[in-house]
Amino acid sequence: MKAVPFDQLTGAQVDAWHKLRAVNPLLDSPYFHPGFAGAVHAAGNPVDVYVGTGPTGEVESLFPVHRDGGVLRPVGWPGADFQGPILAPGTAFPVAGMLGGGVRALEFDHLLELADDFRPWITGSRPSPLVDCTGGLDGYLARASKSGKDNMGQARRRANKAEREIGPIRFVADSLDEGDLAKVIELKRAQYAATGAKDYFTEPGRQELLTALLRTRGTEFAGILSTLHAGDTLLAAHFGIRAGGVLHWWFPVYDPAHAGLAPGWMLLRELVMAAPQFGFTRIDLGRGDDEYKRRAKTGETPVCQGMVTRSTARRALRAARESLVTAAKDSPLGPQLRRVVRKLRTIKR
pLDDT digits (tens, 9 = 90+) for 329-342: 555 555 555 555 54
| Residue 203 confidence (pLDDT) above 60 | yes
Kindly list the distances between the CA atom of residue 106 and the CA atoms of 50, 59, 74, 255, in Å, as whole numbers in the listed order.
12, 21, 8, 38
Taking only the tens place, the pLDDT of each residue in 270-300 is 999 999 999 999 999 999 889 999 999 999 9
| Residue 324 confidence (pLDDT) above 90 | no
pTM over 0.75: yes
Closest CA to 209 of 233, 179, 183, 185: 185
Residue 275 CB-density burial (10 A; 0-12 exposed, 13-18 middle, 19+ buried): buried
| Residue 243 confidence (pLDDT) above 90 | yes
- In this prediction, residue 349 has a pLDDT band, given cuts at 50, 70 and 90, of very low
What does the pLDDT read at residue 316?
A: 59
User: Helices marked H in the chain — which ranges?
Assistant: 11-23, 34-42, 136-143, 146-165, 178-195, 206-214, 263-278, 291-296, 312-330, 335-346
SS3 label, residue 100 = strand
Taking only the tens place, the pLDDT of each residue in 135-166 is 999 999 999 999 999 999 999 999 999 999 99
d(CA 49, CA 129): 28
At residue 155, φ and ψ (nearest 5 deg) are -60, -40
Taking only the tens place, the pLDDT of each residue in 44-74 is 999 999 999 998 899 999 999 999 999 999 9
